[in-house]
Chains A and B, each alone.
Chain A
């Protein structure tokens, strides 16, 4: 490490003002701070510095994503063997198969996204932001495994440029960039995002057992195929068709535990969103309507992308509500919306993505009223005194 530090220090003047690579200063800065803790010392006044800067925060989220990623890899292999009637694969084989399928998605996502981030940082003369580290990992985990790589690249470019950079880059975006990428793909190429073939590797290009159906539990529920739905335990463990990261509620819960333990994720949003969905589900159980409403309410929590969205998407510190009261409102409404879209919208079997994006849009409004209410409350107190 010492050797590396010396090398970095040696080439630093090249990137300072007046140096040969002055224009690439943010690239240098990005790599230097990625490798080492910045050695900047404040010269005047007292400043409190926390080692829990953005890089560390992002690293924790990446760590929390690992269980879902690892299980997702295994599940891709498992679903593939089921669809193609392969019986003699070992666990390692399934995992390796899935991991190799997932790897290109991750590489493309990072290459396109980070490329745009680097260029944008050079144009603005800003430091390179770490914001994309997490987004770049989230995107492959919420995509169908068979999605063509160029489509993934287009949707990542759209999400980073339209969803983030034009608003001013990391920290300024209204919408969650990962969900923006997914929404773009969903509306642009619906053939690759919905249906009973996209969620299992290899089915889109033909093949698979005759009569094999790869619907997700959500799609089955939508078509009143309740009797064919996997058991609650299976959905909780995650051995069901779906995008890589979202199927296993158990693996996501491990990630949630890491996020909560380190204080990176907001427990208020996770709790209120879960309660919102559960409450809405129970309400529908009580009122009835169509057959779908009679499905046990807790199924909503373990089906589809709800768990993944709640833990990793809705808690995005940028696009979620900022005030504590606002977080409860934001989370609860998101949870309620998920169930409403799932049950009542005939077009979309899944509602998590749209519910969270919609609440992203409303988050500033919620904050505005929470802050104003607080100001009014305190004004009243002053006037009374």
Chain B
């Protein structure tokens, strides 16, 4: 414990832990994890935002807790230990939502509980928290949760705007008076396939703008 170099709390290296998952290491568009919930909760923006925050909280805290305990966890049962930590946090989040945001909680229904099975969380615990200190693990969790949330919010924006004609529940299309001109909401945007296609389009844009993401033939 003598040659530990004290790194500043937000050094360049630590900042990268947050910014990387937002772009070039995005959990959804680059690692292609957590797709199922991205399809399920992005019909409207409000549940998507709540889901994004919930996942961020769970990833960040479970990352930190596991990073604290990592040296005490026997290798063979580490998955179970990780699951216990995640499950406990998810239950707390679920109860919190039920208490303070019941409507949204009802819309998200089973998907809050299913955060436990979100591959992003297990992936971060295995790949990062098990071999890093609590503070960077916490930042990594925040970063990945935000990267996941960013895509969720973009997808849900398009799905709500084109599928229901509103943004955050505010009826934009109606206020613009477009319905009078024969405009109609696109019912397909509300169905899950369109979420997949929207995610695909985001991946398309991202990859065509970043050479480093394209495979060399």
B187 touches A189 (CB 8 A): yes
Complex Cα gap A188–B204 (Å): 23
Encode contact with A along B157-193: 1 for CB under 8 Å, 0 otherwise. 0000000000000000000000000111011110100
A189 touches B184 (CB 8 A): yes
User: How many chain-A residues does the 8 Å CB contact rule pick out?
Assistant: 13
A188 touches B182 (CB 8 A): no
Complex Cα gap A154–B184 (Å): 12
Complex Cα gap A191–B187 (Å): 10
- B36 proximal to A (CB < 8 A): no
A184 touches B204 (CB 8 A): no
- A3 proximal to B (CB < 8 A): no
Encode contact with A along B188-213: 1 for CB under 8 Å, 0 otherwise. 11010000010000001000000000
B186 touches A189 (CB 8 A): yes
Complex Cα gap A190–B187 (Å): 8
Contacts of A150 in B (CB 8 A): 182-183
A187 touches B187 (CB 8 A): yes
Contact of A184 among B182, B183, B184, B188 (CB under 8 A): B188
Contacts of A162 in B (CB 8 A): 197
Q: Is the interface of A mostly helix, strand, loop or mixed?
A: helix
Contact of A187 among B182, B184, B191, B204 (CB under 8 A): B191
Contacts of B191 in A (CB 8 A): 187
Contacts of B184 in A (CB 8 A): 151, 189, 191-192
- A45 proximal to B (CB < 8 A): no
Contacts of A191 in B (CB 8 A): 184
Complex Cα gap A321–B122 (Å): 41
Contacts of B183 in A (CB 8 A): 150
Complex Cα gap A151–B191 (Å): 18
- A206 proximal to B (CB < 8 A): no
Encode contact with B along A151-163: 1 for CB under 8 Å, 0 otherwise. 1001000000010
Encode contact with B along A165-188: 1 for CB under 8 Å, 0 otherwise. 010000000000000000010011
B204 touches A166 (CB 8 A): yes
- A148 proximal to B (CB < 8 A): yes
Contacts of B197 in A (CB 8 A): 162
Contacts of A190 in B (CB 8 A): 187
Contacts of B204 in A (CB 8 A): 166
Residue ID in chain A nearest B162 by CB atoms:
A188
A-B contact pairs, 18 of them (CB 8 A): A150-B182, A150-B183, A151-B184, A154-B186, A162-B197, A166-B204, A184-B188, A187-B187, A187-B188, A187-B191, A188-B187, A188-B188, A188-B189, A189-B184, A189-B186, A189-B187, A190-B187, A192-B184
